[in-house]
Structure 1
Amino acid sequence: MIRYALPALLLVSALPAYAQAPASDVPLIERAKIFGNPSKTGAKLSPDGKWLSWIAPRDGVLNVWVAPASDLAKAKPLTDEKKRPIRNSFWSPDSRVVLFIQDKGGDENFLLYGVNVSSGKQTNYTPFEKTRAEVVHISSKVKDRILVAVNNRDPKWHDVYSLELASCKLTLVQQNDGYGGFLADDQLKLRLAEKPRADGGTTYFRITDGKIESTPLTEVGLDDSQTTNPLAFTTDGRTLYWTDARNRNTAALLAQDVASGKTTVVAEDARADIGAALADKRSGRIQAYSVNYLTQEYVALTNDLKADLAFLKQNTKGQFNVTSRTEADDKWLVAVDPVTAPASTWLYDRKAKKLTQLFVSRPELEGAPLAAMHPLELKARDGLTLVSYLTLPKAADPSGSGKPAKPVPLVLFVHGGPWARDTYGYHSYHQWLANRGYAVLSVNYRGSTGFGKNFISAGDLQWGRKMHDDLIDAVQWAVSSGITTPDKVAIMGGSYGGYATLAGVTFTPTTFACGVDIVGPSNLFTLLQTIPPYWEAGKQQFYKRMGDPNTEAGRELLKERSPLNYAANIQRPLLIGQGANDPRVNVRESEQIVQAMAAKNIPVTYVEFPDEGHGFARPVNNIAFAAVTENFLAKCLNGRAEPIGGALKASTAQVKHGAEFAPGLAEALQ
């Protein structure tokens, strides 16, 4: 289904004097080993089980590879991207084509491509300009075509097409005149349409014989808009599954009888929303589901999967995820995340009850001093529980107890969204920063998803206020618990996390020792003016949860919560990174606050990447910004740093302002 969801990133020869850390036996992990290309990732089994595909470097750029599932030594690259990495791929239902989406320079105008495994021929299935293609449905019951949606007719709305994979023919199935998404069954028939409401909620309509009915099937209000969604039909089309928080707080898994409309609760959890589901490959009936509160847990609904999931839990070292399954459901791919070791991918033979390791994603991190992550329940000042994650430097906590021997500098790393969440698992920024000598704390502040609708709604109209208070409360907990000291706390994040960084250095200007803002909005009014046209369906949710720019009260609120208007308050060092092609947070968001600070002679360093969008996809750019960041933080927090060296020159980074304020940056540019 396509639907609108509020969006939601070693050896050192000599360290500068400011970057010297207290002596320890923990070696510095090269940042390239953390932010460079993985060796392999994103593996998928073809539906017929004959092929295995994955993403791996080809001439330094991530591309799609494929091999017979029985002989990985015969692997070959299928694609030949020269610059921008391919980050995900998936199989056609007939197992003949590997599909992937790709944009240009981070503009998020993703087009759909496919490569024939036998011939190697690559096809652009949606050859349009300034268009974003999305997959609506792939069915194992219909082998020769899939449903896709494109917004080439009207950039605000995605029309649905049937795509014949062999001929590349697109046939219009449903013109979209104001609907946020569609749900199809396994016969590739559209069955539901969802329409955004003026109050930020959603109305769902049945589609019968290709026509959208005028009478609503059901209504969802603003409070439930993030937690209540139709998931999928069973293969026979008689049952529709929902995640549904209506008349409850956390989203339960419901089964609805299509004929009678009667719903039955399949699963619910008072702590967190029901997450991903595993469905029977033949019937479509849900066999298991996951719940992610502090950590992710699978819960089986059938005896056969109960045995499989118990076997996997017993025989894997770390948190596991079932990532791919054959149509016969005899083989699974299982990703295992031990946190303190690099993730690995395994082939699980269900009949033989056998696990075989296929690859380690980052073998260069095997044996590296990776740090444990500790799930926490912190309390906000009004009593709200904030699920959070703490990583400590190994030198400060060699036993992995979660308590440092003495306070250490801390980086508050804030997730984006804000309608998203932090989770337990290997986290590249946590590992990198902990290795540099910092405690790292990530907080699911109010407005984060996964913890029920009340927690999300508690963040409504609270950008820069109660959402920010939650972050401050977490820092105060860290100080009072002896994790850190009040003068050695930095704030860092991307997207909303970048906004939180700017809010931190403007609204609470002496709380943080410094800040690192990555693609963060500085002016909420201009942010809402420049969001992509295909986010039209979600506009009212933005307005109701952030502030409505069409009302006087809303404009005042957006003005009041925009860090740009308080730039004069900034007293601490600030580093900003931005992609020039960002469609979500326009480049002007960073430019505006840099200009405002420069006008008042307030130091700020601004690094822009002309070939990036909302975050940095190309490893050379990610490594370059990490190089600037760790040297910036080393001066601010007295941690360790790997010298910038040639990292900047290997990237497209353009230092637009303030090279002199970031340690080692001016020298690296020479």
Structure 2
Amino acid sequence: MDDDGTTISRIDFDYDRKISKVYVRNGSDWREVLSESDTPLPAFSFVGLNANGQPLIWRNYGSNFGAIEAINMETGAITDVVKSNDTPIDGTIENPWNGHFIGVNMGGIQPVTRWLEPKLQQIQTTLDARFPNKTVNIVNFSQDMNKIIIAIGSDTIPTAYFVYDATTTRLLSIGATMPTLNNVAMGPVFTMMYKSRDGVDIPVYVTVPPNIEDPTNLPTIIFPHGGPEARDEPYFNWWAQFMASRGYLVIQPQFRGSSGFGRAFADAGRRQWGKRMQDDVSDALAWAVREGYTNPRRTCIVGASYGGYVALQAATASPDLFQCVVSFAGISDLGEMINIDGNNYWRDHIGPYDRDAMEFGSPRRHIETIKAPILLLHGRDDTVVDFHQSEAMADALRRVGKPFKLVEMRHGDHWLSLGPTRLQTLEEIEKFLEEHIGASATQH
């Protein structure tokens, strides 16, 4: 819509034919200006208007790293506004006062914000120089851009919020997200790369326990993220920092299928549940052992949502790899997930229902191979992955006498929104890790 609320452009997506098209208003009719075929998801999305009132689109397909393009309403000509040949566009930013496009979040192993509004870019540059070795994000601003709400944090410092006065350069504290951790030692996060078994460079974030100068032969947690088309970032992560604070090296592989590293990298994980994406996670452990960071006899895999699925799949497909397995809200049966949920997201990412393929990639169908003890945690109020996924896994493990513990969290959701369930999760994980790979474990 333009500033008067008139619809001037539209995007059509034919899911069955996988064709995306962009149209602009042409009198009382519509004129096609862009088209992309063979796109499993919509290839375009609107990001707002530029200063000339032209619609801006974010091209997600047809360009590995994405592009922001302007459409000339009179001629239909397309002009690049933001384009990168090496770093993907990960998100867009609009001015809340007028809806105009003013910046992009750029992905890659070290994400950054690029402002197209000169005043905000100058403020960003000033703040970055003022707070070296920290990440400063502009969250919001007054209409004249003189009062700015900013978030400051780092890999070892939880986010805190401030009001920045661009005229006086003064800062006013609003509050910290985790004030009780202000004086607690945290583990540094390192950004690294490793090679997959087929030679692909995989980004990885490694959190070293606090006060460890020589990270060698450490008990290690492989911690794959959820999504799967999501990502980790080299900032403060309360899951990773908690486990690191207990003496564990925490490795977060950005396996193929992760977002933020280009369209080709994300699409390389599509329909690779239990296959290529799983191998990338296993290869992270192999890399850490080769480099000497990890004690191979003291390893555990911990994951939530899709990461929980990866953990359970590791228990069945690679039973000798880990000494313990933790799954929070993990999927144990792919076919059941598709049939019960049935939305296009899962079908696109997992694949169309095929009995043999679903059974191959479903941990619940291969419990006889499991050797490592498993901790299952799941909230009763989870609306993304049904509690039954963990409950049925527990029933299957019980029937064949495999070691496990199921923790049912009453009122717990998929995101651990409530403090009590978050605390319960960490306490259960701490006890489980200590028992199996901690200092008191019997196997070392």
TM-score normalised over the length of structure 1: 0.61
Answer whether contact 2:207 2:251 (CA < 8 A) is retained. Answer: yes
Q: Identify the residue that residue 664 of structure 1 maps to in structure 2.
A: none
Q: Identify the residue that residue 362 of structure 1 maps to in structure 2.
A: 178
CA distance 1:447–1:583, change in 2 (3 Å)? same
CA distance 1:584–1:189, change in 2 (3 Å)? farther
2:196 to 369, 380, 391: 380
- Aligned: 1:353 with 2:169: yes
Matches within 5 A, 1:225-374: 225=41, 228-234=44-50, 238-279=53-94, 284-317=99-132, 318-374=134-190
CA distance 1:351–1:579, change in 2 (3 Å)? same
- Aligned: 1:636 with 2:440: no
Q: Identify the residue that residue 346 of structure 2 maps to in structure 1.
A: 542
Q: CA deviation at 1:589?
A: 1.1
CA distance 1:277–1:306, change in 2 (3 Å)? same
Instruction: Give the aligned residue type for 1:503.
Output: Q
CA distance in 1, matches of 2:298, 2:144: 55
Instruction: Give the aligned residue type for 2:171.
Output: L
2:10 to 185, 192, 204: 192
CA distance 1:562–1:299, change in 2 (3 Å)? same
1:445 to 241, 255, 265: 255
Q: CA deviation at 1:451?
A: 1.2
Q: CA deviation at 1:640?
A: 8.4
Q: CA deviation at 1:240?
A: 1.8
Shifted more, 575-584 versus 491-500: the winner is 575-584
CA distance in 1, matches of 2:42, 2:405: 36
Higher relative contact order (CA 8 A, sep 6+): 1
Which secondary structure does the structure 2 equivalent of 1:364 belong to?
helix
RMSD of aligned residue pairs (Cα, Å): 2.6
- 1:300-326, CA deviations, whole angstroms, 9 ceiling, x for partnerless residues? 435433321210111125111111122
Structure 2 unaligned regions, length at least 5? none
Q: CA deviation at 1:350?
A: 2.3
CA distance in 2, matches of 1:226, 1:639: 50
Structure 1 unaligned regions, length at least 5? 1-183, 398-402, 642-670
- 1:455-505, CA deviations, whole angstroms, 9 ceiling, x for partnerless residues? 112112211111011011111111111111222111111110010011110
Structure with greater helix share of residues: 2
CA distance in 2, matches of 1:200, 1:509: 39
- Aligned: 1:623 with 2:423: yes
CA distance 1:479–1:531, change in 2 (3 Å)? same
Aligned residues: 439
Q: CA deviation at 1:221?
A: 4.1
Q: CA deviation at 1:604?
A: 1.1
- 1:569-604, CA deviations, whole angstroms, 9 ceiling, x for partnerless residues? 111010001122322211221122111111101111
Shifted more, 287-296 versus 419-428: the winner is 287-296
Answer whether contact 1:519 1:615 (CA < 8 A) is retained. Answer: no
CA distance 1:259–1:460, change in 2 (3 Å)? same
Q: Identify the residue that residue 457 of structure 1 maps to in structure 2.
A: 267
* Identity among equivalent pairs (%): 24
CA distance 1:337–1:198, change in 2 (3 Å)? same
Q: Identify the residue that residue 433 of structure 1 maps to in structure 2.
A: 243
Answer whether contact 2:20 2:44 (CA < 8 A) is retained. Answer: no
Which secondary structure does the structure 2 equivalent of 1:383 belong to?
coil
